[in-house]
Structure 1
Amino acid sequence: MNARYLLWISAPLALSAGVLWLSAQEPKADPKGAVEGIKVAELANQLQAREKQVAQKEAELRQTEQRLTTLQAALDKDRIDLAAREKAVQDALAKLENLKVRPVIDPQIIRTYEAMDPASGAPAMKELAGQNLDVAVALLAGMTPKKAAKLMDQLALLDAKLAGKLSERVGLSKPKDPAA
């Protein structure tokens, strides 16, 4: 046999024997490698635990955001309702104030009603109150108390309810500012 053939056959056999011999040896424990392996495993576990905590916090934050959004919508709706109610109250107050203010009546008409006989002035006042209660209130309020009392006395005989209503409105009303 040729030396070359011998080399080609013996080299792989030697390598195989070396590999078998190395694999049969007990592995030496590298203290650094072992510690690093434990650290990596611990860090991986800690990282997973932290990721779970973060995911849980994110879920809680999403739920809180949803609740806040719902509450914000309810607050906005309540704010709109409150604004509408406030406007309604303001309108009602303005209307009430307008009812309390009597219109300005021409003094000539007041003198005419004062000059009338109370028995004939009462039906005229009843008719006027039926057409425009505010004018009747302003007319009575403009009369002298003595003449208005005689007219109201006769009006009470015709329609006590109307006389009471006129008295109430005269008492609650105030003269309209002529400068306005």
Structure 2
Amino acid sequence: MNMKNIAWVTAPLALSAGVIWLSAQTPTPAEGIKVGDLADKVQVREKAVLQKETELRQMEERLATLQGTLERDRADLQNREKTLAEGMAKLEALRTRPPIDSQLIRTYEQMNPISAAPALKELAALNQEVAVSLLAGMQAKKAAKILDQLASQDNPAKDAKLAAVLSEKVGITRPKA
């Protein structure tokens, strides 16, 4: 055999021996980390991620519940504000009274309370706001005498109620000193 043939036979044998020797060696990671340790770390991380996802879902549910409560409270507050605004508008409407001619006020003040009471009763039947404005413009003592006579008219229960309603409205509409 010549040299050329020997080289052709030994070269593949040497390569095969090198491959077998390399495959028999235990591979070592480049940084010295073992695969088992990496697997353990990955499992720990997966558990932590699952726990965080669970906590996140629970927090989202709580947030949705709180958001619903907030929306209900907001709607309730808006309803209360609306009711308050309507009440304030009604109160302001009660406080504003129609202007009454001062001559009419003086006329009622100069009338005998026995005669003024039925006239005031009829006026209240026609327009209660005008009657309230008239009483509010009068001197307190004279208005009191007329209301006293009004309460003791034909139907004391009904007339006393009318006197009370007129007095209440005068009290509401009279500006504070």
Output the TM-score relative to the length of structure 1: 0.69
User: Alpha-carbon deviations, 1:40-84, whole Å to 9, x = none?
Assistant: 112112112211211221122122112202211220221121122
- The residue type paired with residue 92 of structure 2 is E
Q: How does 1:105-116 map to 2 (within 5 A)?
A: 105-116=100-111
1:104 to 90, 99, 112: 99
CA distance in 1, matches of 2:32, 2:145: 115
What is residue 167 of structure 1 aligned with on the other side? 167
What is residue 63 of structure 2 aligned with on the other side? 68
Greater relative CO (CA pairs within 8 A, separation 6+): 1
Deviation at 1:38, TM superposition (A): 7.8
SS in 1 for 2:99: coil
Gapped runs of 5+ residues in structure 2?
Answer: 1-8, 154-158
CA distance in 1, matches of 2:151, 2:33: 108
CA distance in 2, matches of 1:132, 1:33: 106
C-alpha RMSD over aligned residues? 3.4
SS in 2 for 1:87: helix
Structure 1 runs (4+) deviating above 4 angstroms are none
2:123 to 117, 128, 131: 128
Determine if the alignment matches structure 1 residue 79 to structure 2 residue 70: no
- The residue type paired with residue 162 of structure 1 is L
Contact 1:101 1:174 in 2 (8 A): no
Deviation at 1:123, TM superposition (A): 1.3
Contact 1:102 1:174 in 2 (8 A): no
- The residue type paired with residue 108 of structure 1 is Q
Output the TM-score relative to the length of structure 2: 0.70
SS in 2 for 1:105: coil
CA distance in 2, matches of 1:150, 1:44: 102
User: Alpha-carbon deviations, 1:7-61, whole Å to 9, x = none?
Assistant: xxxx9xxx9xxx9xxx9xxxx875x749x99811121121122112112211221
Identity level (%): 59
1:152 to 137, 144, 147: 147
